[in-house]
Amino acid sequence: MSNFNIETTQNVNIEFRLADVSDRIMSYLLDLFIIISYCIVMLLMLIPFYDGYHWTVLLFFTPAVFYDLLCELFLNGQSFGKMILKLRVVKTDGTELSFGACLLRWIFRIIDIGLTNGLVAAVMIMVNNKGQRVGDIAAKTTVLKLNPQQGINKTAYMEVEEGYKPMYPEVERLSERDMQAIKEVLTIIRKPSSYANVGAPHPLAVKTKELVLKKMNVETKQPAAQFFRTLLKDYNYFNR
């Protein structure tokens, strides 16, 4: 299995593993099973009420046709099969997966998989050093094998929802290393501890918050964990 580097908005290179052909075939088969199961269930539900109007059949079976497009668009680059196998579609330049990219991948499935029974996709993935089928090349995407022990969790990255409004513009006084440390502290204080049992704040959180507030020269009434999450979102907002 080959590796692939993605550069984050903070100019940090993260190494991921590319999904190999067997992973992608297996995820395709899992998704196919889900689609077929859905169609069978809908068919059984429709038969008793079928009155000859074909539009009703199209209405219920449309989700099966657009399954891959809708999943990758609304499930952050994953279908249910990809979720099970911990795969994800990403842009090769590290930017957010867009509707246009998802649409191109979906359209080119006709060539990659539909017309050739997956032969073109398999060959392209094996010969392409970025693990791309034709649809991936057109959309500038690839499919990664997610590993919870490495990758983006080692950076200051945190997803920022659409329309987010930052609270602390002073966060730009902090470095990437500062933000990585804050994220690590946040991970530590989330774990069960004796401090939580007695309702006391974690001393690491208290000390870190004091140092960060001093460096930023601000004040806040937010609890440490909430403060750290806000800072991470603000940092990613200003540096995306």
Contact between 28 and 113 under an 8 Å Cβ cutoff? The reply is: yes
Asked whether residue 117 falls in the same domain as residue 145, the answer is: yes
pLDDT of residue 2: 66
Residue 193 Rama label (left phi>0; alpha psi -120 to 50; beta): beta
Mean residue pLDDT across the chain:
82
How large a percentage of the chain has pLDDT more than 70? 81
Asked whether residue 146 falls in the same domain as residue 47, the answer is: yes
Asked whether residue 127 falls in the same domain as residue 11, the answer is: yes
What's at 11, amino acid-wise?
Answer: N
Cα–Cα distance, 84 to 70 (Å, whole number): 17
Over its C-alpha atoms, the chain yields an Rg (Å, rounded) of 23
Kindly state the tokens that stand for 107: 């359209």
Backbone φ and ψ for 7, nearest 5 degrees, come out as -95, 125
pLDDT of residue 153: 54
Asked whether residue 118 falls in the same domain as residue 227, the answer is: no
pLDDT of residue 150: 47
Q: Report pLDDT digits (tens) over 94-115.
A: 778 899 999 999 999 988 988 8
Q: Report pLDDT digits (tens) over 121-167.
A: 888 888 888 889 999 999 999 999 886 444 455 567 777 888 899 99
Asked whether residue 105 falls in the same domain as residue 218, the answer is: no
Among residues 152, 178, 212, the one where a domain terminates is 152
Mean pLDDT for the stretch of residues 11-31 = 81
Asked whether residue 168 falls in the same domain as residue 109, the answer is: no
> Is the predicted pLDDT of residue 10 greater than 50, yes or no?
no
User: Which domain range does residue 121 map to?
Assistant: 3-152
Among residues 96, 126, 152, the one where a domain terminates is 152
Asked whether residue 117 falls in the same domain as residue 22, the answer is: yes
Asked whether residue 116 falls in the same domain as residue 166, the answer is: no
Asked whether residue 194 falls in the same domain as residue 122, the answer is: no
Backbone φ and ψ for 204, nearest 5 degrees, come out as -65, -40
Q: Report pLDDT digits (tens) over 170-204.
A: 999 988 878 888 888 888 887 765 455 545 677 88
pLDDT of residue 207: 87
Asked whether residue 107 falls in the same domain as residue 123, the answer is: yes
> Is the predicted pLDDT of residue 62 greater than 90, yes or no?
no
Asked whether residue 22 falls in the same domain as residue 130, the answer is: yes
Q: CB neighbours of 206 closer than 8 A, spacing ≥ 6?
A: 224
Q: In what order do the strands lie in the sheet with 3-7?
A: 3-7, 13-18, 141-145, 87-91
Asked whether residue 169 falls in the same domain as residue 110, the answer is: no
In the block, residue with structure tokens 């964990």:
225
Cα–Cα distance, 206 to 212 (Å, whole number): 10
Q: Report pLDDT digits (tens) over 46-60.
A: 777 666 556 666 667
Cα–Cα distance, 128 to 135 (Å, whole number): 12
Among residues 152, 168, 195, the one where a domain terminates is 152
In the block, residue with structure tokens 């998802």:
102
Number of folded domains in the chain?
Answer: 2
DSSP 114: I
